[in-house]
Structure 1
């Protein structure tokens, strides 16, 4: 310590190192730290460490004891702010730690009705179709128009007998046209009504399809989540059997083939878990496609969900009800009605048309500067148009419309057959599903009993590890189903 200056202690309990104080080479080389040799009251009892080649300067007081009342008063606001910050952080962490609220099927259906793009497109198409009726009706209402023109004419005399002149002409006309007989336009009005009804039926189809899609994807997420849970449970059970097989092999109770078989089953279980996790992510994304949000926490279906049989239990009664109320069939009927109206509208191109035409005009004319005329002209007339020959366009358009009507008729028949088949399949599917659920419940009990018997046989040496793994797999599959 000869190279370092002495550390001095003043009455104010301050320690300061001299401006030229440096540590010896031993300290710079990583030797023992330099400590003060003596400690006295007010030194704080703390050793002084230094690093090689640097000055050691201790600025500010080093005190023993508690802070003064003035210091405590000055630091009180800081302590209050710090306490509030810690409380806020704790509250935020507590909220983040809470589990997300599970969403049930009804909430998803309401959300999908607001955000599903396919349903929104169907609504827009329906609102667009509604406008066809006022457009068709407008063709039967009076048409009023106003026209005006102004012109200036310059006359130059080349004979030498007259003089040059310039004059202005003005004309204002108010006209009205009222169709009296327009067969095609009246048919177009009925056709517009059929198109609006068809759009309404298609909107009902989209609404029912949305509910079906939401339910299917909701249960798809639940099924994928159950598959993942069962895959993890199966992996854990196989891992337990693998550990048990290894212990038995170490003591010579089983052959190495049992260990290898358990390892192979464990690897398969790991692969199945990975596939199940990917399937769950895909199912969640499919549901988000409809709702516009990602929902991973979904409420499970009630375990005691009643399995009601169809009422009445008559397949033909359900087929008849679907034939009357199915919106897809209604849309096909309205499409056929509109197609038939189109045939009549095209055929009406052969019929004459009759319009009432009225006009009221003001004219301010100057005939070459010779005579000025200002007058009001009012006219009422009937205009009759009789088509004689249009190059075959009307006949061709009528044939096209007739073929479109035949197409619509066949599409209606196809929709009727599909609806009948779908109703019959759904009716049989409900009855089959109820019977299957009851059978699967009994299968779970049987699989549990079989697993217990297989494990007992394995302990007794009459069954192999393969039998135990197969029994566990059968039990997990029965529970999953």
Structure 2
């Protein structure tokens, strides 16, 4: 009896585990889950974080050169001395402690300023990499949804075309339809079969682009856009978004820090013409004399100021200054090009948002009209009023309207996040808002 109960319990546990595994395999994944996963796995984000840590270390290294430098030294030796009459052997030891502090070192100070600017640049570049990775994920996610829409719509169009093809063959058997119409519908069916194969392949390709960002295959179905999402245009006007982008875009802020670093590099090179003043304190205890000779132990204390004045370096200092001025000019031109690009991209995203909303409203009306037209055309075809070409055209028009409507909705979402991306305001809240428009696939 107990053996039977144990077997039943084991069977129940196995069935429960298998059911949970099946549910997990069939569970859909949404944009937010992929977004959180990509933050820890996208190589671009991880690389930018590593470069930020590296820049912080270099800044600390440059700062360390400005601080006091303390060094200790110890010597232990054994000496043997031979002369004509005697041989002597003795041990000696010496200790030294030195402290050095730069009092005036313009080159070291400007080097620290340069690395400070480079560290700030790496911080903004890390943020820019995170934002760009988020946009890439969103675009690839909705590109995959668009490919799934294409397959679904092609299959629906194929089913409608096959239905009318069967109807037309029945009419042809009664000599109530032309053979050219039958052949045209058959050709359309074959074409749609080919398109469905291509659409299925495109889904797998687009899923691979998402897998590239998160480092694993996408096996779960993706959540889809709700039927009637609550789309709203941004409240502020175009001027506001352009102004915000020029003030807050992390790529532009990184470019500004690159300019500061280039200017500091020029100043560092110019400091090669300036003197350096240092203060040194040294303490020494030793019983080692000249050529290792044993002497009474002595303590020595020295405090000194050292002034170093560069006089001539073969023209290398001035050549370095000229080279860095050219690099500064290149950085300024790159900064200006980026500023113009940000203005253009921000305006383009704003225009695309407005156009997408208008296009969505127009396509909703167009879809309703196309559905009515297709239904009326099929009914007229059954009465012999319309021919097969008219039916094909009405079906194609309906599914084109559905496809265009879905694509316009995706364009609105991506344009909205692109606007936030260029303005430097894209954050987790924006991604969660878009994710709220998604529902599990039916």
TM range (shorter): 0.7 to 0.9
Q: Is the CA contact (8 Å cut-off) linking 1:126 and 1:203 kept in structure 2?
A: yes
CA distance in structure 2 between the partners assigned to 1:135 and 1:473 by the alignment: 67
2:226 maps to 1:302: yes
Q: Which residue of 1 aligns with 2:335?
A: 412
Instruction: Report the equivalent of 1:456.
Output: 379
Give the Cα–Cα distance (whole angstroms) in 2 for the partners of residues 79 and 140 of structure 1: 80
Contact 1:333 1:412 in 2 (8 A): yes
1:132 matches 2:58: yes
Provide closer, same or farther for how the CA distance between residues 299 and 319 of structure 1 changes in structure 2, counting only shifts above 3 A. Answer: same
Point out 4+ residue stretches in structure 1 off by more than 6 angstroms. 367-371
| Cα deviation, residue 413, structure 1 | 0.3
1:79 aligns to 2:7 (yes or no) = no
Structure 1 portions without partners, runs of 5+: 1-75
| Deviation of 1:468 (Å) | 0.9
In structure 1, what is the equivalent of residue 281 of structure 2?
A: 358
Change (3 A) 1:221 1:363: same
Q: Secondary structure at the match of 1:102?
A: coil
Greater relative CO, 1 or 2 (CA 8 Å, sep 6+): 2
Corresponding residue pairs, total: 402
Once the two structures are TM-superposed, the CA of residue 469 in structure 1 deviates from its matched residue by 1.5
| Contact 1:353–1:384 under 8 Å retained in 2 | yes
**Within 5 Å, which residues of 2 pair with 1:217-256?**
217-256=140-179
Give the 3 Å change call, closer, same or farther, for CA 370–264 of structure 1 in structure 2: closer
1:189-268 paired onto structure 2 within 5 Å: 189-268=112-191
Deviations 1:194-247 (A, max 9, x none): 112111111111121122122112211211111111111112122212222222
Matched, 1:438 2:382: no
Structure 2: unaligned runs, 5 residues or longer: 405-442
Matched, 1:388 2:318: no
Contact 1:136–1:192, Cα closer than 8 Å, also in 2: yes
1:466 aligns with 2:392: no
Shift of 1:370: 8.3
Q: Conserved in 1, the CA contact under 8 Å of 2:144 and 2:206?
A: yes
Work out the CA distance in 1 between the residues paired with 2:22 and 2:104: 76
Higher mean displacement: 389-398 or 95-104: 95-104
Please say which of residues 397-406 and 450-459 is displaced more in the overlay: 450-459
- Using the alignment, how far apart are the partners of 1:292 and 1:125 within structure 2? 21
Q: Does 1:327 align with 2:245?
A: no
Contact 2:127/2:250, CA 8 A, preserved across alignment: yes
Contact 1:221 1:280 in 2 (8 A): yes
Matches within 5 A, 1:9-408: 76-98=1-23, 100-157=26-83, 160=84, 162-293=85-216, 294-313=218-237, 315-365=238-288, 372-408=295-331
- Richer in helix (by share): 2
Q: Could you say what secondary structure the match of 1:479 adopts? A: helix
Larger Cα Rg: Structure 1 or Structure 2? 1
Quote the Cα distance in structure 2 between the aligned partners of 1:84 and 1:249.
63
Aligned mates of 1:163, 1:324 — CA distance in 2: 85
- 1:106-137 CA-to-partner distances (Å, cap 9, x unmatched) read 22222222222211111111122122322121
CA separation of 1:425/1:464 partners in 2, compared to 1, >3 Å: closer, same or farther? same
For 2:169 and 2:14, locate their aligned partners in 1 and report how far apart those are by CA, in whole Å: 49
Contact 1:103/1:295 (8 A) holds in 2: no
Deviation at 1:190, TM superposition (A): 1.8
